[in-house]
Structure 1
C-alpha cells in the first residue's frame, strides 16, 4: 500500500460513528421527517462495525431479555434488549443522535400544543426516566430469518417517551437477505391510512416517529398516529440495531 493510501485509510479509521452522525444534513433530514414521518441518514456504521454489532447477538450476557415474537403474537423472529452497561458503540450512537433529534421533537410538541419535557442532554433525560421508574435500557438488537416479520406496533414503554427513534441496518438487502422492508403506516386525520416502505441499506439509519407526528389540517395541526413494522423476509438473515431514547418501566 502506498503512503498516500495508508494515510487515507488511517484518516477513515479516525472517523467515528459520532462524527458521521454529526456530519449528516440535519436540516434536510428534519424536513423529510416533517413530510413523511421518517428519514434515511447517510452511512453511520462501516460494514466492519455492522458485523461487530450483529455478532453481539450471540453474546447473551450483554442482554437483559430475549423476546420471541411469535410467542407474543408480535410477528415472527426474535430480538434482545441490551442490559447495562450498554456497549460503547451503542451508547455512543444514542448520545450522538439525541441532540440532532431534539429540535424536531420540540418543534412537533409546540405544533401540537404539548409539553416538551426533554432536556438538552440524553443523560439528563434518562435521569428523568429513571426517577419516574423507567430504569431498564431499551436499545435492541433484532434478528429475522426466512419468513420472519414484525407486526405494526409502537415502542413506548412508559409514561415518559421520546417522539423519535432510529433503526440501523446491519446487513445489506439483496446480499445478506431479501424482503424485510421497513414499514411505516400513518393514520391521516379523517382519511385513509398511508403506508411507506423503505429499504434499509447496511450501515444507514432510519429516523422515524415513535407514536404520532403533527400534520396540517383544516383546524391547524393534528396528531397523526403512526405504527411501524417489517415485511416478511424472503431469504437470508436480517439484523438491525434499534435505538430508543427513553428507558422502560
Structure 2
C-alpha cells in the first residue's frame, strides 16, 4: 500500500505562522529556538513510516558502527517526498536574514542567494552534490554523540529538526542536546524536549557571541540524549548538500 505523505494544508503558511521576531531573538541569545507546529500528528506518522521504504534513501548509517552513538539514520535521495521538500523551501527564506546577519557580525562571506535552488546549484558546482536531508530512528538505549553537520566548505549556518513522535507517549528520554564553547569560559549545555510536529532551528557550526571586544565565534555542537523507552523519529532539514 502506498503511503500518502502530502500535507493537508500549505506548509508555507504554517512556517510563516511562527513568531519569527521572537524566534530570531531566541536564536541570537541561545543558538536554538522552537517553531510553532508545522506538521499534524498524522503527517508526522506518515513521514516516520517512510523509514521503512528503503528506495527513498541513498544510504543508511548505523551510528554504533561509526562510533557516532547508537541508532540509525537514512539520507533521502534528491527525489524528496513533498512534505520534506516543501518544509525545506518554506524555512530557507525565513532563515536567510539570520544567516546574513550572523555572517556580517562575524566578518564572514554571506554567499547565500534568495533562491534555495540557486544555492544548491552552487553547492553542486563545489562538489557537494549529495542530498543531506535525513530521517533518524532511535530505540531504547540509542543516543547521538555531540557533532556538527558541516559536510563541506559550502555551509548554511542554521538547520531544522522536526519531532515526528510524541515525547512522554511514544518515547521517553531522547532530549535534543546542545553545547556551546564560550570565549574564555567553560562550555555551556542545554536540552530541549522536541514536541511532535514542531521544529527546532539550531546552529550548524558557529554563532556570533557578543564580547567586550566585539563579536566572537561561538562554536556549537548538537546531539541526542539516551532514549529510555519507545521509538523516536525525527526529520532533519539541512540547507546545504553533502560532499
Instruction: Tell me which interval the TM-score lies in, with the shorter structure as reference length.
Output: over 0.9
More helix by share: 1
SS at match of 1:97: helix
Q: 1:172 corresponds to which residue?
A: 166
From 98, 102, 107, the equivalent of 2:101 is 107
* Higher alpha-carbon Rg: 1
Q: 2:121 corresponds to which residue?
A: 127
Q: 1:206 corresponds to which residue?
A: 200
How far the C-alpha of 1:14 sits from its partner, in A, is 5.6
Uncovered stretches (5+) of structure 2, i.e. residues with no partner = 1-6
Aligned length: 237
From 220, 224, 235, the equivalent of 1:230 is 224
TM-score of the superposed pair, with normalisation by structure 1: 0.94
Q: In the aligned structure 1, how far is the partner of 2:190 from the partner of 2:99?
A: 21
Q: 1:91 corresponds to which residue?
A: 85
From 219, 227, 235, the equivalent of 1:241 is 235
**Residues 87-136 of structure 1: CA distance to partner in whole angstroms, max 9, x if unpaired?**
11101100000000000000000000010000001111101001111110
TM-score of the superposed pair, with normalisation by structure 2: 0.96
Q: 2:176 corresponds to which residue?
A: 182
SS at match of 1:136: coil
From 52, 63, 74, the equivalent of 2:68 is 74
**Residues 162-186 of structure 1: CA distance to partner in whole angstroms, max 9, x if unpaired?**
0000000000000000000000000
